[in-house]
Amino acid sequence: MTAATSPRFVTLEGLEGAGKSTAMAFVRDWFEARGETVLCTREPGGTPLAEELRAVLKAVREEPVAASTELLLMFAARAQHVERVIRPALAAGKVVVCDRFTDSTRAYQGAGRGLSMATIDQLAEVAHAGCDPGLTLWLDVPVALGLERAASREAADRFEQETLDFFERVRDGFEALSEREPARFRRVDATRALDEVRAQIETELEAAHGG
Ligand SMILES: Nc1ncnc2c1ncn2[C@@H]1O[C@H](COP(=O)(O)OP(=O)(O)OP(=O)(O)O)[C@@H](O)[C@H]1O
Ligand SMILES: [Mg+2]
């Protein structure tokens, strides 16, 4: 794990429906109230090319997608996003808040699909050396609650069609990350009411950045 993290680069992680997109507004509000310019973005995606790769990754298709193909497409999208959007924004003094990043790859393609964490860390080095989040908020919910929240939206994509076992492994993957990097990777109890989720996120931001 590279030590080159930026405290001005914050990521949101968690299962589908956990509340990542909802929480992004809480993080943005907190920084904006302190006079910061905030760039909110998401993965896979965040540039026109990377959004095309997102559509490729999410499409339900007859051809089985090899786990290694999925992994490389994720990192291809990420490399483009980091070079074109995230690095320039950080260099311009903005705060960057990203909905999913490499921890999702560790949880989904690593813990979920069984790909090697060492390989993922090597690809992270290729795609975004020296550009790692300084704070990651893990919106944690039981699998069933996340899927229930996500189900109220459009038709299930290729990931949302996965088995409950798969999502349990993904959640275990996030748990392992919180044990491996407890200072950066912070668990937020996302089963609670939204005002309580906001309060916990603000506490984490204050601890990381000073009130
Ligand atoms: N703490 C909460 N309590 C009640 N409802 C919530 C909570 N957090 C999120 N929701 C609701 O659950 C749904 C999913 O939330 P959201 O879109 O933020 O999740 P997400 O993690 O971004 O999902 P996805 O991975 O599919 O993008 C939304 O309708 C949102 O309003
Ligand atoms: Mg979302």
Question: Does the beta carbon of 24 lie inside 6 Å of ligand 1?
Answer: no
94: CB partners within 8 A, 6+ apart: 8, 36, 37, 38, 39
pLDDT for the residue 211? 53
Indicate which atom in ligand 1 lies nearest the CA of residue 190: 1
Question: Domain containing 176 — which CATH number?
Answer: 3.40.50.300
- What the block records as the tokens of 84 is 């074109």
Global confidence as pTM: 0.96
Structural domain of 121: 5-209
Q: How many domains does the chain have?
A: 1
In tens, the pLDDT along 191-203 reads 999 999 999 999 9
Residue owning the nearest CA to atom 8 of ligand 1: 19
Amino acid at position 79, single letter: A
H-helix segments, 33-132: 48-58, 67-81, 87-91, 102-105, 117-128
For range 86-102, the mean pLDDT: 98
Whether residue 147 has its Cβ less than 6 Å from ligand 1: no
Closest alpha carbon to 42 in 20, 59, 63, 19? 20
